[in-house]
Amino acid sequence: MSLNYKIENCDQVTESSLYETFSSNPTFFYLDSKQTTGESDSWSFMGVDPIFSVESKNNEVCITSSFFKIGAFSLNVDTSVKEVIDKSLVDLKINDQSQIPFLGGWICALSYEWLCKTSQGGIFKESLSNQSPETECFFSFYNEIYAINKNESSIYRITIEREAIVRWVNKQIETQYKREGIQGNNFIDTDGQRNSLISKLNSSTASETHNDNTTQSGSTKDAFNKESLRSNFSKPDYVERVKNVKSRIKEGDIYQANFTQKFSAEINGNLEDVYPSIREKLEMPFGALIKYGDETILSTSPERFIKIDGLTILTSPIKGTIKSDIEKKKDDKNRAELISSKKNRAELLMITDLERNDLGQVCKMGTVHVTKLIQLESFAYLHHLVSHIKGTLKEDLTIMDVILSMSPGGSITGAPKKKAIEILSQLETCPRRWYTGSLGYIGLNKKCELNIGIRIMYTKNGVAFFHAGGGVVSDSEPELEWEESMLKASVFLDLINDA
Q: Which residues are catalytic?
A: 303, 319
Amino acid at position 36, single letter: T
Contact partners, residue 374, CB within 8 Å, separation at least 6: 345, 348, 349, 352, 385, 386, 387
Sort 438 into a burial class: Cβ within 10 Å, 0-12 / 13-18 / 19+. Answer: buried
Determine the Cα–Cα distance for residues 401 and 85; give it in Å rounded to an integer.
Answer: 11
Amino acid at position 432, single letter: R
Contact partners, residue 448, CB within 8 Å, separation at least 6: 306, 307, 308, 399, 403, 440, 441, 442
Determine the Cα–Cα distance for residues 136 and 318; give it in Å rounded to an integer.
Answer: 24
Residue 310's CB: how many other CB atoms inside 10 A? 11
Sort 90 into a burial class: Cβ within 10 Å, 0-12 / 13-18 / 19+. Answer: exposed
- Longest CA–CA span in the chain (Å) reads 72
DSSP 69: T
Residue 234's CB: how many other CB atoms inside 10 A? 11
Determine the Cα–Cα distance for residues 297 and 283; give it in Å rounded to an integer.
Answer: 18
Alpha helices in 185-327 (DSSP H): 197-202, 235-250, 271-281
Contact partners, residue 188, CB within 8 Å, separation at least 6: 51, 52, 65, 67, 68, 69, 166, 169, 170, 173
Give the three-state DSSP class for 397.
Answer: coil
Using CA atoms, how far residue 86 sits from 80, 82, 90, 452, in Å, is 10, 6, 6, 22
Phi and psi at 271, nearest 5°, equal -65, -30
